[in-house]
Amino acid sequence: MTETVSRDDAVKFAYWVPNVSGGLVVSTIPQRTDWSLEYNQKLARVAEDAGFEYALSQIRFTAGYGAEYQHESVSFSQALLQATTKLKVLAAILPGPWHPAVVAKQIATIDHISNGRIAINVVSGWFKGEFTAIGEPWLEHDERYRRSNEFIRALKGIWTQDRFTFKGDFYRFNEYTLSPKPVQKPHPEIFQGGSSRAARDNAASVSDWYFTNGNTVENLKAQIDDIQSKAEKNGHKVRIGVNAFVIARDTEEEAKAVLDDIIRHAHVEAVHAFGDAVKEAGQASPEGEGNWAKSTFEDLVQYNDGFRTNLIGTPQQIAERIVELKSVGVDLVLAGFLHFIEEVEYFGKKVLPLVRELEAAREAKAA
């Protein structure tokens, strides 16, 4: 059955790399997830065997909100690529601390070393405290996105052209030629995280992929329709990835009990502090929209509103919800878990085959 869904059409799966301590929830609930290299290399191998196509690393320059230790995203991604053979690893990149020339060069080299398995996630920042701590200017919300837009255009130019010239407000290049160019053509995939108006406009014009926080199907549909109608006008193709914190258990009761437990153990002070900090994101935009603009205390216990997507229940319930997400235009599910290794394995065995069956059934019905 699986074969009848063409590969490009099948929902893709990514998992969050726990390269930051404390896992993916701001909770004191005991977790078997670990931020170490050893744990992460094993997880990456388990994930590629389980059917995950992508792994997404995180970038944080300083501690806060339960994430005391953080490995750097580009070097950590490289270590995961060394441990795997199929997985594509997304290195998180933060314009400001990173200059596009450095990123273009680093990623081109990693693309050669990994034989075309590196990609990037350009994030525009929400954590003013880390910018202040490293002496990096903190731009206003929409200025950060204007910088990310130039950053992405500059990267594409460097990766695809010789004697690249660019005169922007943030970056300038003068007949610059990068050699060698990346292995992947036209260039490694560029993902972008955020959901404010500015984030959506960037997705509709320059990014290959739009990554957004967890949300209801209805709210996701509104975002996706907005992006895709704009992208069409721009003659641009963009695909959509959505965050979800997955709690798959044999029974719905078990899965819900785990969610209750995570929230009951919420690190209340850290959740409130995180909630205050993320007001620098979407809420600080002219429209007051975006990631975390409407997040409740419970939502914020998972860094990217992953409970809202509601992939919590039995494998069958979760598979059905994933196919529903696909029906409104979601191309990729970015999954976080409580105990990563064992839950990624369970997901690969129990949930993914059901998703492929449902996709095939829908395709057959449509035909």
Ligand X SMILES: Cc1cc2nc3c(=O)[nH]c(=O)nc-3n(C[C@H](O)[C@H](O)[C@H](O)COP(=O)(O)O)c2cc1C
Binding site for ligand X (CB under 6 A): 58-59, 92, 94, 121, 123-127, 193-196, 199, 211-213, 243, 281-282, 285, 290-291, 304, 334
Query: Least Å distance between CB 3 and ligand X?
Result: 30
Q: Is the dihedral of CA 144, 145, 146, 149 positive or negative?
A: positive
Q: What is the largest CA-CA distance in the chain?
A: 61
- DSSP 8-state assignment for residue 2: G
Angle 204-288-308 (CA atoms, 0-180°, nearest 5)?
A: 75
- Would you say 17 or 351 has its CB closer to ligand X? 17
In the complex, least distance from residue 367 CB atom to ligand X, rounded to whole angstroms = 33
**CB closer to ligand X out of 18 and 315:** 18
Integer Cα distance of 247 and 337 in angstroms: 7
CB 323 within 8 A of CB 333: no
Tokens 């990096």 label which residue?
Answer: 136
Q: Contact at 8 Å (CB) between 186 and 161? A: no
Asked whether 281 and 144 are in contact (CB, 8 A), the reply is no
Q: Please state the closest distance from residue 72 (CB atom) to ligand X, in A.
A: 11
Q: Which is nearer to ligand X, 114 or 121 (CB)?
A: 121
Q: Minimum Å distance from CB 165 to ligand X?
A: 29
CB of 55 to ligand X, least distance (A): 12
CB of 75 to ligand X, least distance (A): 14
Angle subtended at Cα 222 by Cα 280 and Cα 143, rounded to the nearest 5 degrees: 30
Q: Considering the complex, what minimum distance in angstroms separates the CB of residue 20 from ligand X?
A: 8
Nearest in space to 139 (alpha carbons), one of 126, 151, 152, 150? 126
Return the number of the residue (18 or 282) whose C-beta is nearest ligand X. 282
Nearer to ligand X, 154 or 199 (CB): 199
* 216/243 Cα distance (integer angstroms): 11
- Which runs of E-coded beta strand occur in 124-268? 164-167, 172-176, 190-193, 209-212, 239-245, 247-248
Shortest separation between residue 334's beta carbon and ligand X, angstroms: 6
Quick one: tokens of 185?
Answer: 């053509």
User: Which residues lie below 8 Å from residue 152, measured CB to CB, with a gap of 6+?
Assistant: 122, 190, 192, 202, 206, 207
Q: Residue 84 or 202: which CB sits closer to ligand X?
A: 202
Torsion sign, CA atoms 117, 123, 129, 132: positive
Which residue, 67 or 178, is less far from ligand X as judged by CB?
67
Residue 316 CA from chain centroid, whole number? 24
Q: At its nearest, how many Å lie between ligand X and the CB of residue 123?
A: 3
Instruction: 178-183: list long-range contacts, CB under 8 Å, 24+ apart.
Output: 178/104, 178/105, 178/108, 180/108, 180/112, 181/108, 182/107, 182/108, 182/111, 182/112, 182/116, 183/111, 183/112, 183/115, 183/116
| Least CB distance to ligand X at residue 344 (A) | 17
Residue 157 vs 290, nearer CB to ligand X: 290
Measured from the CB atom, the residue of 22 and 194 that comes closer to ligand X is: 194
- Closer to ligand X by Cβ: residue 108 or 281: 281
